[in-house]
Amino acid sequence: MKDNADPAKFADPHVTAKGDTRATVALTDPQTLWFNTGTLCNIECENCYILSSPTNDALVYLTANEVSDYLDQLEARKWGVREIGFTGGEPFMNPEMVEMTRRALDRGYEVLILTNAMQPMQRKRVKAELLELKEAYAEKLTFRISVDHYGPELHDKERGRGSFERTLEGMRWLRDNGFKMAVAGRTVWGESDKNSRDGYAELFDIENFNIDALNPGETVLFPEMDETVDVPEITTECWSILNKSPSEVMCSSSRMVVRHKGAGKPSVIACTLLPYDTQFDLGHTLEEAERDVALNHPHCAKFCVLGGASCSA
């Protein structure tokens, strides 16, 4: 595992800057198929890995029929996926978001929606449709809410003044109507994992949110993803050095469907974090997306292998 700075890093999908064999990951146990519903968002965060904003439509809205096509492919390919994830942008900006959710739930999948729980989710029509889904699929549907910090000051620093309270308003509505919730936070504030989780625990207790702050599946704390930070390249030898298995890396168990602006049809991406890097575009079908993924990006090292993070529940 090489960790000295070198501009030649992550240049070749087969070998590292030092000439070692780059690690690859096979799709061995597909558990989650993600759909990026589009990069448009009602807010613009200070550090958004996917550059979502009210004006960025680099990834355009997916349609419910496109989602259904990939659900058909899942069955045909017999992937054995248990979970469908929806992310953005803000998923509830997409006018077909609830219908996409309904179609995934109708097939028997668990559904995870990543949302800021702000105005797009709180529209009257959306709330009414979500309540209909809850009646039929309450145990299959989870909302993971972006709460960057358990206090308003740092959360609002990232997401804009007043955003903390607007997000809590949405979470209170979800709480009062019996929806399952989880939270996604950040680890960029210089706090220890324990201090951060203690802070979230206090918030959840005050708000009577049924979320376990100590459970990494319910309170997910993501590292900052900065492509300019020097990180080691992952070689085939790293697995034994780190005592890790390729099966622990996110691309061994998931893929994401996106539609690039101007593209004739959606594509399947190897990683939820890398929708703009063409080397991680695996083709238009799930069959094409079954090939191995070279860990040829700083996020592969910092976020997945060394950080041990995952976007799934």
The series of mean pLDDT values per 10 residues for the chain, 313 residues long, is 62 92 96 96 82 92 98 97 97 98 98 97 98 94 97 93 97 98 91 95 98 96 72 90 91 97 96 92 98 92 71 49
CATH no. for residue 231? 3.20.20.70
pLDDT in the model for residue 227: 61
Domain of residue 159, residue span: 24-306
Residue 6 counted as domain residue: no
Residue 184, judged by CB atoms within 10 A of its CB (0-12, 13-18, 19+), counts as: middle
pLDDT in the model for residue 303: 78
Distance CA 108, CA 288 (A): 24
Residue 78 counted as domain residue: yes
Positive/negative CA dihedral, 286, 290, 291, 294:
positive
Residue 142 counted as domain residue: yes
Chain-centre distance for alpha carbon 223 = 13
Mode of pairing for the β-strands spanning 219-222 and 180-186: parallel
Residue 154 counted as domain residue: yes
Residue 82 counted as domain residue: yes
Distance CA 21, CA 193 (A): 34
Residue 3 counted as domain residue: no
Residue 19 counted as domain residue: no
pLDDT in the model for residue 187: 85
pLDDT in the model for residue 2: 40
Residue 86 counted as domain residue: yes
Number of domains in the chain: 1
SS (H, E, C) 191-230: CCHHHHHHHHHHHHHHHCCCCCCCCCCCEEEECCCCCCCC
